[in-house]
Amino acid sequence: MDIADYAWIAWLAVIAIVLVIEMLSGEFTFLMIAIGAAIGLTASLLGAPIWLQIIIAAVAAVALLLFLRPPLLRRLRRPHDPMKFNVDALLGMAGTVQQPVTPIAGVVKLADGQTWSARTTGALEIPAGAVVYVQSVKGALVYVGDRPPAVDPTH
């Protein structure tokens, strides 16, 4: 009985330990090492000698650290998500006036099919059938104008 016959147990232990460390750190470093160890485990199961298993696992882990980890971190640490949700998705959206919109009443149908109670952002009245743009949302009201809102450079 040779120790190489039980190398797979050591590989499983290494994988388990580094995965626990990865869950605590979240930096993908130990994940790459765990994947390298899984490749070492595969080499062990295929009958490679221990020295070759270690070399294969090390080369795989280094390659993953150099080539896979950086794009994963960039993807994870994007400064903001370009997709807008909820109220943010409504800002700037075009719509059609269903009932004349004034500072105190009105109804618009937005481009996404939703019908909203609306108010104008100024003192003007917008007639039915006119195209408007959502300027802001407050509660269940959209405030609309006849031009798209100015773009906020921080978003």
Q: What is the pLDDT of residues 41-65, one digit of tens each?
A: 999 999 999 999 999 999 999 999 9
Indicate the pTM of the whole model: 0.53
pLDDT of residue 55: 97
pLDDT in tens, 85-114: 677 788 889 999 999 999 999 999 999 899
Helix (H, G, I), strand (E, B) or coil at 94: strand
> Per-residue b/e over 32-52, b at no fewer than 16 CB within 10 Å?
bbbbbbbbbbbbbeeebeeee
pLDDT in tens, 134-145: 999 998 899 998
Q: Which amino acid is at 15?
A: I
pLDDT of residue 150: 73
Does residue 74 register a pLDDT over 90? no
pLDDT in tens, 110-130: 998 999 999 997 778 899 999
Would you say how long the chain is, in residues?
A: 155
Kind and range of the H or E element at 119? strand 115-120
pLDDT of residue 51: 94
- Residue 70, φ and ψ in degrees, nearest 5: -60, -45
pLDDT in tens, 23-47: 998 889 999 999 999 999 999 999 9
pLDDT of residue 127: 93
pLDDT of residue 152: 58
